[in-house]
Amino acid sequence: MVSSKDEKEPEKLKDAPVWMWAIGCLGLMFVLGSILFMLYEAAAGDQSPPDVTLSVTSILPTRNGFLVQVEAVNDGGSTAEGLTVEGELKNGAESVETSNTTLEYVPPHSKREGGLFFSLDPRQHELRLRAKGYEKP
């Protein structure tokens, strides 16, 4: 014997308001669109190598010297993992002090920040920043 509850389940689905169906279809379109976009990016996206630009965002005095805050911008299409950044203080042709840091993960088309510590005031010397190398993830 079939209960009346089992007979009403298919009727509830048929009797669902149009707005519920519209929201369900919209949600399905978003999910499918996201999956298609990710597949497209994986297959045909920008695969160019990392293109890292370094810039100083600020120089702050600390108890033991100075902190140079650095921003790394990756305009390339690939990730730079373990990016080594070198800062060098120069007095004319003479290298006065060097500091290094590693930015663990710089995704494509993104920014990351780090810092370099110096015992001498970077504002009193020429500061040169250089990306020395990275690993391919």
Outline where DSSP puts E strands in 63-125: 65-74, 80-91, 94-106, 110-118
CA distance 82 to 106: 8
Give pLDDT, residue 43: 83
Give pLDDT, residue 68: 98
Give pLDDT, residue 3: 57
φ, ψ of residue 123 in degrees (nearest 5):
-75, -15
Q: Which helix (H) or strand (E) holds 62?
A: strand 52-62
Give pLDDT, residue 113: 97
Q: Phi-psi bin for 98: left (phi > 0), alpha (psi -120 to 50), beta?
A: beta
Give pLDDT, residue 13: 67
Give pLDDT, residue 85: 98
**Residue found under tokens 């169906």:** 21
**Residue found under tokens 């040169």:** 128
What parts of the chain have a pLDDT lower than 50?
A: none
